[in-house]
Structures are given as C-alpha cells and as structure tokens.
Structure 1
Amino acid sequence: MNYLKDIQEPGMGTWYFEIDNDGVAYRQMVYHDDGTCITSNRKHYFYHFMLAEHPLDAQESYYKEISQTEFEKLWYEQLQHGLEDWHRTKSLFPVGTRVEGYIEVFFPQGTLINLLEPQAVGITDTSALKTETPAEWLYPRYRVFAEVSGYDEVNQWVLLTRSKVAGSQYEEAEVD
C-alpha cells in the first residue's frame, strides 16, 4: 500500500489516502481546518461514506507521499473517537449472531451493510453476493441477512458471512 497527503484549496482541509499499486483507495481521511475529520470507515451525515471513486495517480504534483506510520497514527486517533460506539457494536453483534441490515455502499474491501443500529457497520464479500443475487438487487437500501463471523478492528466493521440479499428495499423513512 501507498500513503498520500493532499492539501486542498483553502477551506477544503487536508486529505489522506491509503491506495494500492493501481491507485485504488482503501481508506481515506479529510481533516478540516476547524479540527473535524471525516473518515471512510464511518457514515457522515452529509457526505455519506467518503472514499475516492476513481484510482488516484500518486505522481500528480498535488499529492505528497507520506509514511504508513504517519497515516496509521492519524487513523488510530480517529478510531479512538468511535471506541465507545465500537465496543457497543461488538456487544450487540457477537460472533454467530444472525443479523439484518441493508446495503449502504460498495467499497474495494467489500459491501458495507448498515446493521440498523447507530454507527454499526458490517462488511461482506461482494463477489459472494454477486454469485447468488440478481444484479437488480445489488443496490443501496436492499435488505441483507447475514451471520457475524468476526470483527475488522482497523475499520471498526462487523465481518459478515453467509450474506443473502432479499428482493426488497428499506423505504426512505425506515433508513433515516
């Protein structure tokens, strides 16, 4: 993995990216001038799940390469802000529990699932979903049933297996 920093125009904050050799972003942070931060592992009330949608060209002049240590230090600081929620999520979703939620977004790591509890995010294997799900059901808000198989401590996500997409969506009123 490679790590980049991009200082945007005034008022746009400082952006940090973890990218693979093809420029695909796996983690992202935006530190704003007012001290707030948006991270790709948590849903933001305005920006939703923020992660670069297209590969980044690390050779562009506005990117500065940084060390993994620098990136991980900043990421770890942000994880600490959500630690109470993370402990609550793990207690609500022990390994082996059958869960229900809905598709939020597709990331390089997998499909993020809203687990119907504040700050509770699950992740499941997108390729496994695709093999058993009609393409027209692979969209946000489609219901998902799965089983908890573990935890991703780096992103504070619940790992899901045996995920099945139902042929119905949650209505807007149900997901807000």
Structure 2
Amino acid sequence: MLNRFSNGMLRKFIIYLGPAILVSLAYMDPGNFGTAIEAGANFNYDLVWIVWLSSLMAMLLQYLSGKIGIATGRSLAELIRLKLGKKRFIIPYWIGAEAIIAATDLAEYLGTVIALNLLFGIPLLHAAVIGAVDVLLILTLTSRRFRLLEQMFMIFVSIIGIGYM
C-alpha cells in the first residue's frame, strides 16, 4: 500500500498525524483509564451507555469543527467570536472556556501528584512541587518547539498503549 503513495503524500500524512495524536490524548490519558477502570469495577456495564454517548458526541463535535475549519479556514472559537460580535456576549463564552481549561488542567495535575504518591511513595506536598516543576519545565522547553512537544506526546501515547496490551 505504501508504494501507491508518493513521498510527498506520506510526508503530509505524517505532518497531520501530530495534531491528531494530541487530540487523542483527550481519550488516552491515565486519568481516563483510571476513572474507567474504577467505574467498571463499581458499576460493571451499567454505565457503558454514558461512555458511548459521550464518545459519539465528542466525535461529532470534532468532525463538525474540522469541517467548519476546512470550509472557512477559521477555528470554531473564531467563528463564535465573529457570530456574536459584541463583547458583552463574548465574555461569558471566554470565562466558560477558561474555567473548563482550568478544570481539565487541574485534574491532570492532580492525577500526576497522586500517581507520584502511589507509585513512588512521595509525600503529597513534595509530589505537588515535583508536578509543578514538571509542568513548568515542559512549558519552558517546548514553548518554541511545538513539534518537539508533539513527538514527546506521541512517545507517551505509545507507552500508554503498550502498557495496556
């Protein structure tokens, strides 16, 4: 099958694979696995319909956002900004988006802290400091090298996938 693709097409595919891997992290992180395992242990298959429904809704949102981006050349956030126009309508959307981002980041950070505590027996306060330094180090080292960040996450996702095989 690879002989049907030219080197240029394969290169384009690999370039677009990086952002796809970053989007997949929303589903393939240890926090999601841990939560799913815990819910499965407590409720068996009673909550599977929620997983299916939320996954379908997320896929639909990603698909439609992608189609909008291809058709208009703008992101979903840019189009919302253009549609709403006035600042008094935009500010509630912005506050909501920031709150969602903060909640997601906090959950990931706390997951790191708890993992350090459980895996290595590090006290929570020390694990919190290590987690904060870890986040700052990653942000500092990859602020101008987004491709490096993508490659790091590709490695992390691969390790997670191999770990569950």
Relative contact order: is structure 1 or structure 2 higher (C-alpha 8 Å, sep ≥ 6)? 2
TM-score (norm. length: structure 1):
0.26
Structure with max Cα Rg: 2
